[in-house]
Chains A and B, each alone.
Chain A
Amino acid sequence: MDHMEQFIAAAEKVGATIRACSSGEEAGRYIAEHADGTVLLPPQASLERTGLTEAISRQSASLDTFDKQQAEQAAAGVTGANFAIAETGTIVLESTDEAVRLATTLPTLHFVLLDPRKVVTDGQAAIPYLRQMHASAPRNYLAYITGPSRTADIERVLTIGVHGPKELHILLLENLSDDFLES
């Protein structure tokens, strides 16, 4: 099993949905089909450079905000990813920009656009990149996201979507970015 296959298996096992997209248009369409309402779309270098921001905004009502009440009303958040960790099915996302945090914590859906080239084997292999991310800014809020929000606090019954997103959709899109420092 290569890294990408392992990543997909691990992410699906924890309840993420994986979808390979052949174009930005297709990704935008997928998001529009699934998100019933406004989509939070904080600035993401890889999405802007490749026209994804534009493709998504064209198909969904999108918003870039750090207004908390406004963000709370949104149906979904869309972000890129710095990279992914195969063993655990994890997305690593630079979330220092507050708009990214609001987009990934408040709405019930989170769409992540990931370039399949950006996958490392395991947690230890992620550390050099995590260190670079620390070095690239004086303050950071860095997130490992593995599946949707979950709880088993009542009688150990696994329930998805307690405080964070109820669904995590990972859209694989080639030639998005091979830079681990951008999302």
Chain B
Amino acid sequence: MSKQRSQEYRARVLNALNTPRLQDALHRFADAYVVSRENAFAGKDFDALRQAVGEMKDEVRDHHQRYIDQFVANAQSAGATVYFAKTAQDANDYIAGLAREKGCKLAVKSKSMASEETHLNLALEKADVKTVETDLGEWIIQLAGQRPSHMVMPAIHMFRDEVAELFSKQTGQSESDDIPHLVAVARQQLRQEYLKADIGISGANIAVAETGGIALVTNEGNARLVTTLPKIHVALVGIEKLVPTLEDAQKVLDVLPRNATGQLLTSYVTWIRGAVPCGEGDKELHIVLLDNGRSALAESPHCKDALRCVKCGACANVCPIYQTVGGHVFGHIYISAIGIILTAFFHGLDKAAEIVRACIGCRACVAVCPSNIDLESIILHLREVIGEEEGIGVGKALVFKKVMRNRKLFHTLLRAGSKLQKPVTRGERTIRHLPLFFSSLTEWRALPAIADTPLRDQWKTIGQKVEKPRYKVAFFAGCLNDFVYPELGHDLVKVLNKLGCEVTLPLEQNCCGVPALYSGDRETATVLAEQNIAAMLAGDPDFVVTTCPTCTMSLQRDFVDLLRDNPVWAEKAAALSEKTIDIARLLHEKLDAGELLKGKAGPVKVTYHDSCHLKRGAGVWREPRALLAGSGREVIEMAHSDRCCGFGGSYSFTSHPDIAKRILADKLKDIEATGADCVAMDCPGCMLQIRGGLEKKPARIRAAHTIELLAEVLDD
């Protein structure tokens, strides 16, 4: 790992965390975005739309030469000149060369992320061509000498007073910070530039193979001026923008504005095919098709779906990390989840190495992606690649490879930990303060102590009260449940026994492997998958139940993925995946627990926190609410109930505790605002985070696992 790179990155994170105005703005934006997006998709089947976009884009990716050829032939026959640029340098050289050859002095540009990707403005400057950005946001950041912090709203990190200052410098007089006035200044200032310019440069949102034309999706009208007024038009187009037909282009239009800005359609969609009339003659149209890593991405089995991206920017809008540090930290040229992946392929792994670890894995981006990209899985894969290239760090490597793979050693060390922690726990269940250089970890969150006796060592003492079991249920406890919250195991047995299920705890089970996998150690994760499959299937249970949704995802999804090509294990992994179910869904859907629980609880006010991997991994969120409400409790919804709590395993301990702390603060604010006495959740990780945060607060709000709340209302 590059030490200097990491240090610079840390400095950027800290700087962003000390900019509360930015965080406020991004939080407000995120709230407004969710509402407008929802309205824009009202009456639409989002999943069907995004599946259609994904399939269409895959078709192009898998046969891209055919579609490129078709596009080029049609564009050329309409009078366009098409240049294929293999690299960013090729594209810049071509455009700068053209400008020089034609004696161009001034270029006006409409917004193009591809030109940001290639640093085109810099190349034009070197060729003595003055370049003026005309999209308002782009112009602002050009004047500020910055780069976009968002794909759709490039200047979202800036404020009216800063814009007024920049514009005042530009006009040489004092401009007020009234936004309509600033917009009028931009209109007036840029109007003359369009008229004077020798060359107009645009990107393209869509390139249609059927017609050889491009489509531009814009709101301001600047792209229409850029592509109309100057004699020469250059369109810089990433080859992933290709679609086969006009109907396919419409599929993109059906999702792009809705998902980007919550608009049914942008003010303008401009379809340009060929060299259209300009003045006395025809316009000169040059289309530069940009590869720059896209073909390599198409060949990557794990990452290729990223080419489906339509660049709507939604993965940033909903991302808690983006909301906390902004796009200048969480991105390179392209930002947020998709930015991590595109950066790795377009700008190199080194440029992506820090931001790849900044993802907390909450899958909020996956839920809103209009092209159906499993961004989180791709990011995980890149983390593995970087782990292999750069190493995952000596400490982690030791823990994963030497300790975790050896279950007995791992568990012995955890038991020893429970004894060693005594001086700081003072015999209590939580650690409120850690000494010396660990102190920052407990400043904002109390940490639970490792239990005196893990669940596995208590198991024999738990009497099972069920005569003729309807189902045999094997419990996959996961490390937190086993070693930190063993009481949840007792609760689970109590409830399941009452519903006629016998519960076993296979003792050979080990860590689910997620910590290793999320840190980039695929090898250890695979070893753990095999150990766990053998352990959990041994007694041939009807269900394998979990209380931790991250374990659920691991058993349901990751094991299958890790062992897909292993003839010995693939089928067993699929069998385990099939049997795995989280406790809330098991109770609600398979065991019909409603009858048993009905009206057993008092009308306590409970709010519910959706754990990322439960809602967006397992698709479970109605079930726990139904169980809690059915038991007689009053369930009050909190704002952002499905926003990450900031735990993320090692994310909140070692990699990004300072970001995790801010995300937790947001969550606690939402919980407190409900006035509930208790916050329920279905994840021991979230419990560690939220309970730890609440313990540092004066107000006493209880944080509990749903199974705990269900068990306590049943008679012993």
Chain A residues at the B interface, C-beta cutoff of 8 Å: 10, 14, 66, 68-69, 72, 87-90, 96-98, 101-102, 104-106, 123-124, 126-127, 130-131, 134, 138-157, 159, 161-165
Contact = CB atoms under 8 A, between A and B. Distances in A.
Interface string B245-281: 0110010011000000101111111111111111100
Nearest to B155: A153
A97 B276 CA distance: 8
B469 to A, nearest CB: 54
Given A102-B228, A162-B221, A163-B190, 12 more contacts: A98-B276, A101-B224, A101-B228, A104-B224, A134-B273, A139-B274, A142-B270, A153-B155, A154-B183, A155-B179, A162-B222, A165-B221
B160 A88 contact: no
A98 B250 contact: no
24 contacts: A14-B264, A68-B279, A72-B191, A98-B228, A102-B228, A105-B225, A124-B247, A130-B271, A139-B274, A141-B271, A142-B270, A144-B265, A144-B269, A146-B264, A146-B266, A148-B267, A151-B183, A153-B135, A154-B155, A154-B182, A155-B160, A156-B29, A156-B32, A163-B224
Contact of A153 (B136, B213, B254): B136
Interface residues of B, number: 63
A141 B228 CA distance: 9
Given A68-B229, A151-B136, A154-B136, A140 B271 contact: yes
Task: Tell which of B135, B187, B265, B273 has the most Cβ of chain A within 10 Å.
Answer: B265
A102 B277 CA distance: 12
Contacts of B636: none
Contacts, number: 172
Contacts of A101: 224, 228
Contacts of A127: 246-247, 250
A140 B155 CA distance: 33
Interface of B: 25, 29, 32, 77-79, 134-137, 140, 153-156, 158-160, 163, 179-180, 182-183, 186-187, 190-191, 195, 211, 213, 219-222, 224-225, 227-229, 246-247, 250, 253-254, 261, 263-279, 282
A172 B452 CA distance: 80
Contact of A154 (B163, B224, B247, B276): B163
Contacts of A165: 221
A148 B26 CA distance: 27
Contacts of A149: 219-221, 267-268
A163 B163 contact: no
Contacts of B191: 72, 163
Contact of B220 (A131, A139, A163): A163
A56 B279 CA distance: 25
B46 to A, nearest CB: 16
Contacts of A144: 265, 268-271
A42 B34 CA distance: 42
Given A105-B224, A159-B179, A162-B186, A140 B274 contact: yes
